[in-house]
Chains A and B, each alone.
Chain A
Amino acid sequence: MMRFILPLILFLILSIFLYKGLGRDTREVPSPLIGKPAPAFALPTLQDPAKQFSPKEMQGKVWLLNVWASWCEACKDEHPVLMEFSMQKMLPIIGVDYKDKREQGMDTLKNAGNPYDQVISDADGKVGFDYGVYGVPETYVIDKTGVIRFKQIGPITPENLRDKLMPLIAELQAK
């Protein structure tokens, strides 16, 4: 008798794992860059090509690096979340306009609002390459000493902003 029930038992055990797996966040991919210093770069800002930005300017601050593009659909979902978050003035948010045309990037910000303290134009995707950008949007939390502490693949949602990013930022700022 037992051998005929065995398939059912095995299947039920499997279903428990599948159920647990549902809550899993597959977007949180471990990145080799976590715990490493953020790669250095110097690139022109989006609004003013004569002005350059480099991560060195952010020494001593906890900051957010958000990679986006005007052609990216998921970024449009993320944009209002960032807009609201930027109102709180919790930390500087630096945008990277990734593999995008300058005019189109500026148009997007003009129409939808600008949540960023500074926006860098990464037309060739150099920064994206150094940071191992996997898909747009992506967001990095970088601490006061310039070390990457967290990487989010895909859009930031109000939930993971509240549950993941904000506690982490508060913790890093307290250090």
Chain B
Amino acid sequence: MIPELGHFSLIIALFLAATLGVLSILGAQRNSRALMGVARPLAYGMFVFVALAFGVLAHAFLSNDFSVLYVAQHSNSQLPGQYRFAAIWGGHEGSLLLWALLLSVWAASVATFSRHLPEEMVARVLGVMGLIEAGFLLFMLITSNPFTRLLPAAADGADLNPLLQDPGLVIHPPMLYMGYVGFSVAYAFAISALLGGKLDATWARWSRPWTTVAWVFMTIGIALGSGWAYYELGWGGWWFWDPVENASFMPWLLGTALIHSLAVTEKRGAFKSWTVLLAIGAFSLSLLGTFLVRSGVLTSVHSFASDPRRGIFILGFLVAVVGASLLLFAWRAPKVGLGGKFDMLSRESLLLSNNVLLSVASASVLIGTLYPLFMDALGYGKLSVGAPYFQAVFVPLMVPMVFMMGLGPLARWKKMAAPDLASRVKWGFAGALIVALLLPLTMGKLLSLESHKWSPLIALGLLMSFWIIASLVISLKQRLSGEGDFVQKLRRQSLSYYGMQLAHLGVAVFIIGVTMVKGYETERDVRMNVGDTLAAGGYEFRFNGVSQVAGPNYVSGMGSVTVHKDGRLVTELHPEKRVYNVSGMPLTEASIQPGLFRDLYVSLGEPIPESDGAWAVRIYIKPFVDWIWAGCLMMALGGVLAISDRRYRIHQKAVARAGNGTIVGNLQGQTS
């Protein structure tokens, strides 16, 4: 009976969402207070019923109700409690329900935190979100109902895919989906602005904090997924350019461009139509990502069950949403007119170039991801492009981007004389260049790495990070120079300034991580007998054999590897080869000793047949690899700082400004 309640809640939620979409948009067009007034209550109602449905599914999982088909397919009575909960989003139907839940959470939050916005804006934004929610709920009810019964009930479930039985995977999908879905808010604001015909700076101001929040979630989500791939897949890689990874990376790239573009639109009134297009693009790519992952048009390590009916529906939905938005854009954007003028060299032009580079990067990931599909459709057979393509395209795009990223915060709005800018940065750049060229010569010795090579790519990577750091120091120095108390001046800088710098520093840290891992990692795939030792990178790894250990729902062959350095014990690692009881699926669990400057990474391959307990063992030493995720975390924290800025809390002032229709942005970076 309870699962039927969940099904019924979804139907009610669909009805509420569709009503919200139609009535409030109509109300805004007709300027009817009564119709617009229903937007908020309907948004809350939609949230309540989707949450109810989610709660029902959670209950079915936690109480092992195997009469629900979805539960029987993705859970098992042996499955530990936290994974039974996470199993809700372990498959297609539940992932969609999570999507719908998070979208309704965003809609309810917009309804709550928009008291200071004009009524018709709120009505339009909530209306657009309601229409999207209605599309997803309809999709679920028609093709992917999570509450379908299995009669007679299964005695036990088929178990959650062991790959997903991991703490990282418990939080990775919700975080990532929060990001995906969060871009719908910026999208809804952009569409509302187009519908209302008011493409001034105000919509940008209002959607900025929402966009940043979504971007923060997405950054964390992607970083978690990458970290999971690193320790769970046992290959020691952290990014595979897999279609599913790319599906999240594309909207992230455009979202990053959007954040910067919104800043310009808000403060300078420029890039108006470009910003709207980016907002539409970021969310469209989120939808496209959903299509790619859910329709099975591409094969991937994450492949999900594919059902052509589902593919058709999502594609139809995608065409309707994106097509209608782009049509609206083509109709309304030409009337927008140009915004504030700016010179060839100015903060605007630097930001614009970076936006273009980010968009091109996003487009090239899209082309690479869809390449197999294009080739197949054109009859050239089944081909695909892998990491080499993406690396070849990505590095040349990122180099100029990082260079301008350093200049951007130092340049003035509107106009900047080139010699002036050059004289500000020349010492910083020279310093970064010299250190980047010389450091790799001594790096090997410094960190007792195995390889001591100097390579142009390593020097380039280091140059990019040191350049970001140097420009950051220059910017801080500029702001803190002059008379007055140093601490006072530090305090006077806005949180959004610190947020930006922290996020940029995160990029530098990330680049250091990537450069060092690529340049100096040690990888050994060896056959080891019990008692064998292997010397690598100044460490001595001793293989002590594999013993059987029983886990809660698996049996593990647990290896023991002791690591010594200069005769002292560093750590004992326990890589595992698990076999899950129900599915019988084997899983490799790497064992890692993380460190600030290097990770020691050991994973088990296969046992060597007809030997006395010998195994194929993978031993990796990964210098600076954790900096990759630390960098992502800093970017996310930078975003958090930026939205904590006090100007977002002074709503009343924002209303006053918006009412005057003038742009009185708090012009940061305009000092000196």
Contact = CB atoms under 8 A, between A and B. Distances in A.
B340 interface: no
B140 interface: no
Nearest to A71: B584
Nearest to B580: A71
A8 B330 contact: yes
> 9 smallest A-B Cβ distances: which pairs?
A71-B584, A8-B326, A20-B377, A21-B373, A21-B297, A26-B299, A22-B311, A5-B330, A4-B330
A17 B370 contact: yes
B377 A21 contact: yes
Contacts of B370: 14, 17-18, 21
A11 B376 contact: no
Given A4-B334, A124-B609, A11 B584 contact: no
A23 B329 contact: no
Contacts of A100: 584
A17 B378 CA distance: 9
B609 A24 contact: no
A60 to B, nearest CB: 32
B237 interface: no
A102 interface: no
B374 interface: yes
B609 to A, nearest CB: 7
- Majority secondary structure of chain B interface residues (helix, strand, loop or mixed): helix
B315 A99 contact: no
Contacts of B299: 26, 29
B277 A7 contact: yes
A97 B149 CA distance: 31
Interface stretch (B81-89, B317-325, B472-480, B487-495): B317-325
Interface string A44-62: 0000000000000000000
Contacts of B298: 21, 26
Contacts of B322: 11
Contacts of A126: 609
B426 interface: no
A22 B582 CA distance: 33
A71 B583 contact: yes
B287 to A, nearest CB: 11
Contacts of B318: 15, 18
Interface in A1-39: 1, 4-5, 7-8, 11-12, 14-15, 17-24, 26, 28-30
A69 B609 CA distance: 21
Contact of A22 (B308, B330, B333, B583): B308
A17 B373 contact: yes
Contacts of B281: 7
A7 B377 contact: no
B291 A18 contact: yes
What bracket does the count of chain B residues touching chain A fall in?
35 or more
B173 to A, nearest CB: 22
B581 to A, nearest CB: 9
Contacts of B5: none
Contacts of A17: 370, 373-374, 377
A11 B326 contact: yes
B578 to A, nearest CB: 14
A133 to B, nearest CB: 13
Contacts of B609: 124, 126
A11 B326 CA distance: 9
B373 A24 contact: yes
B212 interface: no
B273 interface: yes
A151 B213 CA distance: 47
Most chain B CB within 10 A, of A5, A18, A23, A29, is at A18
Interface in B289-325: 291, 295-299, 303, 306, 308, 311-312, 315, 318-319, 322-323
What bracket does the count of chain A residues touching chain B fall in?
20 to 34
Interface of A: 1, 4-5, 7-8, 11-12, 14-15, 17-24, 26, 28-30, 69, 71-73, 99-100, 124, 126
A99 B584 contact: yes
A1 B376 contact: no
Contacts of B284: 11
Interface in B448-494: none
A28 to B, nearest CB: 8
Given A24-B376, A26-B299, A8 B323 contact: yes
B376 A21 contact: yes
Given A11-B326, A21-B370, 4 more contacts: A8-B327, A15-B318, A24-B377, A71-B585
A15 B315 contact: yes
A7 B323 CA distance: 9
B69 interface: no
Nearest to B298: A26
A77 to B, nearest CB: 11
Nearest to A23: B308
A19 B323 CA distance: 14
B591 to A, nearest CB: 24
Contacts of A12: 319, 323
Contacts of B333: 4
B315 A22 contact: yes
Contacts of B291: 18
B84 to A, nearest CB: 18
Nearest to B324: A8
B195 interface: no
Contacts of A30: 382
B226 to A, nearest CB: 24
B233 interface: no
A136 B248 CA distance: 29
B117 interface: no
B158 interface: yes
A100 to B, nearest CB: 8
Given A19-B315, A21-B297, A22-B311, A73 B326 contact: no
6 contacts: A4-B333, A4-B334, A18-B297, A22-B297, A26-B297, A30-B382
Contacts of B327: 8
Contacts of B583: 71, 73
A99 B306 CA distance: 26
Nearest to B305: A74
Nearest to A129: B606
A12 B326 CA distance: 10
Contacts of B582: 71
Nearest to B376: A24
Nearest to B370: A17
Nearest to A20: B377
Contact of A15 (B308, B311, B319, B584): B319
B323 A4 contact: no
A132 to B, nearest CB: 15
B519 to A, nearest CB: 32
A42 to B, nearest CB: 15
Contacts of B273: 4
Contact of B326 (A7, A24, A124): A7
A53 B312 CA distance: 46
B301 to A, nearest CB: 11
Contact of B329 (A7, A22, A24, A73): A7
A62 B295 CA distance: 35
